């Protein structure tokens, strides 16, 4: 289902919907009055995260058709960094005596902001001429080896201000 939506014309709306679901679910989790409500909020959050995960990969591939394998490896590596940073920072907040609800509230605004940003711009299109030989319309498919241009390192990525704003 995610792949089908990822190739469709209205994927930015589904991406925004997934991000909005994450933000709403975080607020719902922060206000949960019991385990049942918290579980329902986390199910909604998981559905939103699944939608985002399924749609971010085609977006990255479209934005970097000549080097999509490298770009996909980088973005999926960032997911792991975010997971570790989120777990460690949440643990520190709880050890410092803050409420368990605070981490939920912290993560309400970023996905809602990103959802709004996806709705304000036109979703990028990639012409077939921009794709490497043997690859479909901006998606990474089987094809010849990628040309070796300037390699982007983790240091290059970490030097981007947008990375730290979204972190």
pLDDT tens by residue, the chain, 167 residues = 556 665 666 778 888 999 999 999 999 999 999 999 999 999 999 999 999 888 888 788 877 888 888 888 888 888 888 889 989 999 999 999 999 999 999 999 999 998 888 887 665 555 554 555 544 444 444 443 444 555 555 566 566 666 566 55
Q: Are 19 and 115 in contact (CB under 8 A)?
A: yes
Q: Are 140 and 72 in contact (CB under 8 A)?
A: yes
Of 163, 15, 20, nearest to 82 by C-alpha is 163
Q: State the pTM of this model.
A: 0.69
Distance of CA 165 to the CA centre of its chain: 14
């Amino acid at each position: 289902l995610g792949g089908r939506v990822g190739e469709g014309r209205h994927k930015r709306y589904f991406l925004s919907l997934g991000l909005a679901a994450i933000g709403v679910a975080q607020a719902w989790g922060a206000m949960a009055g019991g385990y049942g409500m918290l579980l329902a909020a986390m199910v909604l959050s998981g559905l939103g995260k699944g939608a985002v995960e399924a749609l971010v990969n085609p977006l990255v591939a479209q934005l970097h058709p000549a080097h999509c394998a490298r770009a996909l490896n980088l973005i999926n590596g960032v997911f792991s960094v975010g997971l570790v940073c989120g777990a460690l920072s949440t643990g520190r907040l709880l050890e410092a005596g803050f409420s368990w609800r605070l981490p939920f509230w912290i993560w309400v605004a970023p996905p809602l902001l990103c959802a709004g940003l996806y709705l304000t711009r036109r979703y990028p299109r990639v012409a077939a001429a921009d794709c490497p030989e043997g690859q479909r319309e901006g998606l990474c498919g089987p094809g010849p080896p990628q040309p070796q241009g300037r390699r982007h390192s983790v240091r290059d990525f970490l030097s981007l201000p947008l990375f730290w704003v979204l972190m």
